[in-house]
A and B are shown apart, each in its own frame.
Chain A
């Protein structure tokens, strides 16, 4: 159920993100989801791609520092309160969230949130018990 996520170290400097995206374009990698965490001098670009291990190697060959981590993908209703419901489940189970990002899914008329709790296994269990729809990794890569 865990979805592999690439984290890329970027300097907070003009053109750096574009360079990373150029590498992905040349490697014919289509990004499923993306988020950026930034500070004044550096940032972390987080990506969900169809073939994480291959993409990691591609980026590393181009001198980027890349780490593979894991997130949980949950489908939610694309309407007010949808995200709150999911966070409520984690809250009720006392699970801390490090970060999340979300995107709207065109085909299903829903939205998907990617969650990174401190305890990822506990997070999956809690979400499933709480009635949330946890999406298998292959479904996310193939979106």
Chain B
């Protein structure tokens, strides 16, 4: 099923024509209505009229999270505040949060792109969606909610937490679709099994997950535990929220709704635009946003783009699932390390539950990494030398994955913090 065949299966020509037309309008609107953009364009000596082809987008300046912070709270609004009907913000853990303002039209777009995704997951208006994403300033909850409403499915806006209640409702209401972050999904599966309920009897049809990074092994684990296919959701508050990119039945990449968002991949050091197929930082331009239009927003998410007709029939460009963030990336003794690499190594040891935490310190000028891994019944042995052997095996696997020696510590089960939202995988204690 395709939600909006006209938009999702456009020919490359039609798509480019539409994108150029919308880009020109978006740039003009940004320049004329947002003082920040006028200043940046003028500094670079570019005018909206300079956009004659899609490639001309490269003449425009980038927008960063810092720029949005400087405009806090309403400096990026392109319409009078009166026309903004909803606001969302980023978490603000690294400073002032960034504010995204939505007009009625923006909410319409949000629901539309998210409904396209739910349709890709095989969801229909007959489904019951249990949405465990948080409702609030965080966009996760509302994005899924608007998509589900647009489609006409039944939404249970349960939000995050209250795990016992989640399980009860899954059973009593006959939930057919779950939306969760991968780490919360694993936690939920664990709790369900603890209660002696067979997850397969819940009869899920599909799982949608996003909001944090995961590995293919983690997806397999979740699919196995719930006996249902899991689909990736990508989005970010600054751009619109969840719904920017969504996975179809092929499950090998996320379709970006290119009629609303224009993606580019850049080298985050040189800022050069990279060709399709090359990995780099995703940069997004909103083509239709009215409240807070963004020109070339640097997402810091690492991915690559693939074009061509997909097996599902859509022609929308596909992005790989995000394998790292340019700022989540740890530089350990000068080597780039992503938490996902450590996770991959851990999953090579069958017995290890995928609960772990990475602690980075710098005791004497040299970076040290400790990976705390929860021990499980099957890997525990009465022999010290066997336990040491398992620990060394994990260390070796991590070494072959990232090229660095780390210290692995086995910790008691259920002692690492379980997330009810995003997992805290890395604790960086270095003063960088």
- Known A11-B411, A63-B413; judge A69-B382 contact (CB<8 A): yes
Q: Which of A36-44, A75-83, A100-108, A134-142 has 4 or more CB atoms under 8 Å from chain B?
A: A36-44
> Closest CB of chain B to A38's CB: distance in Å?
8
- Over the window 384-416 of chain B, the binary record of Cβ atoms lying under 8 Å from chain A Cβ atoms (1 yes, 0 no) is 100110000000000000000000011111110
Q: Are B414 and A37 in contact (CB under 8 A)?
A: no
Inter-chain CA distance A67–B356, complex, in Å, is 23
Give the nearest-CB partner of A40 in chain B: B409
B383 at the interface (CB under 8 A from A): yes
**Which residues of chain A are within 8 angstroms of B412 by Cβ–Cβ distance?**
9-11, 16, 63-65
* Most chain B CB within a 10 A radius of its CB, from A11, A16, A42, A63: A42
B380 at the interface (CB under 8 A from A): yes
Interface residue count for B (Cβ, 8 Å)? 17
Inter-chain CA distance A65–B415, complex, in Å, is 12
Q: Are B380 and A39 in contact (CB under 8 A)?
A: no
Q: Are B381 and A67 in contact (CB under 8 A)?
A: yes
**Which residues of chain B are within 8 angstroms of A46 by Cβ–Cβ distance?**
382
- Interface residues of chain B: helix, strand, loop or mixed (majority): loop
Contact of B388 among A9, A39, A63, A64 (CB under 8 A): A39
Q: Which of B137-155 contact A (CB under 8 A)?
A: none
B114 at the interface (CB under 8 A from A): no
- Over the window 87-124 of chain A, the binary record of Cβ atoms lying under 8 Å from chain B Cβ atoms (1 yes, 0 no) is 00000000000100000000000000000000000000
**Which residues of chain B are within 8 angstroms of A10 by Cβ–Cβ distance?**
412
Contact of B384 among A16, A44, A65 (CB under 8 A): A44
- Over the window 40-64 of chain A, the binary record of Cβ atoms lying under 8 Å from chain B Cβ atoms (1 yes, 0 no) is 0110101000000000000000011
Give the nearest-CB partner of B374 in chain A: A65
Give the nearest-CB partner of A9 in chain B: B380
Q: Are B415 and A44 in contact (CB under 8 A)?
A: no
**Which residues of chain B are within 8 angstroms of A7 by Cβ–Cβ distance?**
380, 382
Which bucket holds chain A's interface residue count? 10 to 19
Give the nearest-CB partner of A37 in chain B: B384
Contact of A39 among B377, B384, B411, B415 (CB under 8 A): B384
> Closest CB of chain A to B410's CB: distance in Å?
5
Contact of A42 among B376, B382, B383, B387 (CB under 8 A): B387
Inter-chain CA distance A11–B375, complex, in Å, is 10
**Which residues of chain B are within 8 angstroms of A37 by Cβ–Cβ distance?**
384
**Which residues of chain A are within 8 angstroms of B376 by Cβ–Cβ distance?**
65
Q: Are A41 and B382 in contact (CB under 8 A)?
A: no
**Which residues of chain A are within 8 angstroms of B382 by Cβ–Cβ distance?**
7, 44, 46, 67, 69
Inter-chain CA distance A11–B381, complex, in Å, is 14
Inter-chain CA distance A115–B69, complex, in Å, is 67
**Which residues of chain B are within 8 angstroms of A98 by Cβ–Cβ distance?**
383
**Which residues of chain B are within 8 angstroms of A64 by Cβ–Cβ distance?**
412-413
Inter-chain CA distance A42–B409, complex, in Å, is 8
Give the nearest-CB partner of A8 in chain B: B380
**Which residues of chain A are within 8 angstroms of B410 by Cβ–Cβ distance?**
9, 11, 41-42
**Which residues of chain A are within 8 angstroms of B377 by Cβ–Cβ distance?**
65, 67
Inter-chain CA distance A16–B375, complex, in Å, is 15
Inter-chain CA distance A41–B394, complex, in Å, is 15
Contact of A65 among B380, B388, B409 (CB under 8 A): B380
> Closest CB of chain B to A98's CB: distance in Å?
7
Inter-chain CA distance A64–B113, complex, in Å, is 47
> Closest CB of chain A to B256's CB: distance in Å?
43
Contact of B375 among A39, A65, A69 (CB under 8 A): A65
Q: Are B380 and A67 in contact (CB under 8 A)?
A: yes
Inter-chain CA distance A39–B377, complex, in Å, is 19
Give the nearest-CB partner of A42 in chain B: B410
Inter-chain CA distance A7–B375, complex, in Å, is 14
**Which residues of chain B are within 8 angstroms of A65 by Cβ–Cβ distance?**
375-377, 380, 412-413
Contact of A11 among B383, B384, B388, B415 (CB under 8 A): B415
Inter-chain CA distance A14–B409, complex, in Å, is 16
Q: Which of A1-48 contact B (CB under 8 A)?
A: 7, 9-11, 16, 37, 39, 41-42, 44, 46
**Which residues of chain A are within 8 angstroms of B380 by Cβ–Cβ distance?**
7, 9, 65, 67
Give the nearest-CB partner of A69 in chain B: B382
Q: Are A9 and B375 in contact (CB under 8 A)?
A: yes
Inter-chain CA distance A103–B408, complex, in Å, is 35
Known: A9-B375, A9-B410, A42-B409. 7 other contacts (CB 8 A): A39-B387, A41-B409, A42-B375, A42-B410, A63-B413, A65-B412, A67-B382
List 22 A–B pairs whose Cβ atoms lie within 8 Å, in order of A's numbering: A7-B380, A9-B375, A9-B380, A11-B412, A37-B384, A39-B384, A39-B387, A39-B388, A41-B409, A42-B375, A44-B382, A44-B384, A46-B382, A63-B412, A63-B414, A64-B413, A65-B375, A65-B376, A65-B377, A65-B380, A67-B381, A98-B383
